């Protein structure tokens, strides 16, 4: 898909990998709407991009529907969606305190997997109304994690949620293929965003020592580069692309 002139929604775009992606999309000529939490820097980021900000909690089903409708109306259409919102907690299946709290597991799946699917189904609906360009109406990019494949001790809920995001990419791409809408997931390793950007260099080196090259945390711009490459290339569809410098997580 040609990026120039397209309309993009970036969820989680107030910071980190999503912010870098929103900036890169704008540089390539796309109009951008930012969706993020009300207390985020979303308004400032959107203003710097000549875009719009739509505050939302991704676990609020009705709020997400309204925010996406407002964003699409402000943009005039929706061709590109990048979704990065998520998070997790460290809890073992069993610990000295007993079994993993079910509400914590459920909440992690809700925040990562269910919220992502809710965004996707609504984004696809808006994209389905576009006139096709070379048969293509839209591109959806979701964010998984290499934890989906090598989850560490204490990551059982996060692993389940991120594996779900990776796993649904192909099925959703098949569901939406007749509409010309592509779906691709990105599975990053450790990236320097948010709280991880404050990790001391020596600790970061220990966390990434098993990477092939480079032995460092990823940079937000490197996620953005992959996201734009996915948008550019119509043959990238239905997969989950690892973005990890050849790193494989050890058990802990």
Residue 158 falls in the annotated catalytic set? yes
Q: 176-232 pLDDT, tens per residue?
A: 999 999 999 999 999 998 767 777 787 788 889 999 999 999 999 999 999 999 999
For residue 11, pLDDT beyond 80: yes
The predicted pLDDT at position 9 comes to 98
Rounded to whole angstroms, the Cα distance separating 219 from 121 reads 29
Q: 84-110 pLDDT, tens per residue?
A: 989 999 999 999 999 999 999 999 999
For residue 80, pLDDT beyond 80: yes
**What is the mean predicted confidence (pLDDT) over 154-174?**
98
Catalytic residue among 53, 105, 158, 223: 158
Rounded to whole angstroms, the Cα distance separating 86 from 144 reads 9
What CATH architecture does domain 7-243 belong to?
3-Layer(aba) Sandwich (3.40)
**The dihedral sign for the CA sequence 101, 103, 108, 113:** positive
The predicted pLDDT at position 193 comes to 86
The DSSP element (H or E) to which 192 belongs, if any, is none
Which pTM does this prediction carry? 0.97
Q: Could you tell me if residue 226 is left (phi over 0), alpha (psi between -120 and 50 degrees) or otherwise beta?
A: alpha
Number of neighbours of residue 97 by Cβ within 10 angstroms: 9
**The dihedral sign for the CA sequence 202, 20, 63, 117:** negative
Beta-sheet pairing, 52-55 with 80-83: unpaired
């Amino acid at each position: 898909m040609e990026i120039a002139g397209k309309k993009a929604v970036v969820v989680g775009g107030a910071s980190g990998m999503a912010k870098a992606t929103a900036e890169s999309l704008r540089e390539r000529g796309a109009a951008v709407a930012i969706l993020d939490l009300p207390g985020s820097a979303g308004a400032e980021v959107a203003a710097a991009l000549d875009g719009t900000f739509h505050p939302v909690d991704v676990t609020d089903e009705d709020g997400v529907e309204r925010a996406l409708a407002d964003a699409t109306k402000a943009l005039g259409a929706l061709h590109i969606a990048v979704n990065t919102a998520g998070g997790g907690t460290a809890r073992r299946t069993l610990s000295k305190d007993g079994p993993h709290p079910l509400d914590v597991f459920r909440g992690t799946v809700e925040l990562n997997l269910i919220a992502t699917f809710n965004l996707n189904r609504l984004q696809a609906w808006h994209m389905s109304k576009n006139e096709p360009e070379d048969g293509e109406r839209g591109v959806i990019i979701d964010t998984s994690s290499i934890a989906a494949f090598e989850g560490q001790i204490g990551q059982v809920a996060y692993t389940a949620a991120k594996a779900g995001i990776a796993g649904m990419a192909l099925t959703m791409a098949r569901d939406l293929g007749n509409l010309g809408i592509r779906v691709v997931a990105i599975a990053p390793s450790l990236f320097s965003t948010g709280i991880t950007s404050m990790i001391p260099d020596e600790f970061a080196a220990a966390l990434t020592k098993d990477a092939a090259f480079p032995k460092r945390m990823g940079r937000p711009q490197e996620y953005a580069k992959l996201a734009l490459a996915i948008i550019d290339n119509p043959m990238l569809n239905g997969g989950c692309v690892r973005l990890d410098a050849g790193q494989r997580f050890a058990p802990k």
